Amino acid sequence: MSLPAVIARIAQIDEIVSPKPPAAPATTGTSGFLSALDGVQHSSALGTTAAAPMLGAGTAGQRALAAAQAEVGVSEQPPGSNDGPRIAEYRAATAGSGVGPWCAYFTSWAAAQAGAPLGEVGQGFGSVDALYAWAQRTGRAVPAGPGVAPSPGDLIVWGGRHIGIVESVDPDGSIHTIEGNSSNAVSRRTYGPDGGGATGYVRLG
């Protein structure tokens, strides 16, 4: 066998023993986008990609309201437990909070979705008192009273007991709200012009 034939035979054997990996298909246009999206989804499943805030048009208050509107009907599992898969997500928007009354967790979550997290370092609040005290310190609190009307997206506060988000205000002054932990769920409520005895409002911006 000639030398060139021996070299050719060695090359054939090498190809059989160590085949080259197939070339990766080109990714252009939509297929490249889908591949990138698939990678992001896998990263999210592994917990390496945080959910992005729900940013959009309008003020921070309006964006928080849009986030809250999408949650109406979410309820505790089981009822009366102050817990459930979705409620655990609201709770995660606050630092160090455990299972318990979750109206402030819900508003903290909605504000975080709007890109306007509550608190000096965006820690959120598990306590209505602490949330309103922060709003007072930072000039975001508006005491309720005659002639004071909230705007959609404002938080509405009842002492240290409860908090919700103003959805709309009627021409007669009636106030419509969305509230977490209202009848064990995220619920819509309606009050007169005094907000059902509201203490004040918090402007998110």
The pLDDT score that the predictor gives to residue 22 is: 43
| Average pLDDT of span 4-22 | 53
The residue that leads in pLDDT, 54 or 43, is 54
Best CATH choice for the domain 60-202 from the list 3.60.15.10, 3.90.1720.10, 3.30.450.90, 3.40.50.720: 3.90.1720.10
The residue that leads in pLDDT, 109 or 52, is 109
| Average pLDDT of span 136-164 | 96
Contact criterion met (CB below 8 Å) for 60 and 155 = no
| Average pLDDT of span 142-163 | 96
The whole model's pTM is what?
0.74
Q: Which of 9-18, 114-123, 187-196 has the lowest mean pLDDT?
A: 9-18
The pLDDT score that the predictor gives to residue 165 is: 98
The pLDDT score that the predictor gives to residue 98 is: 93
Domain map (residue ranges) of the chain = 3-45, 60-202
The pLDDT score that the predictor gives to residue 13 is: 53
Name the percent of the chain lying above pLDDT 70. Answer: 73
User: How is the beta sheet containing 185-191 ordered, strand by strand?
Assistant: 141-143, 200-202, 155-158, 162-169, 175-182, 185-191
Q: In which band, very low, low, confident or very high, does the pLDDT at 7 lie, cut at 50, 70 and 90?
A: low
The pLDDT score that the predictor gives to residue 102 is: 98
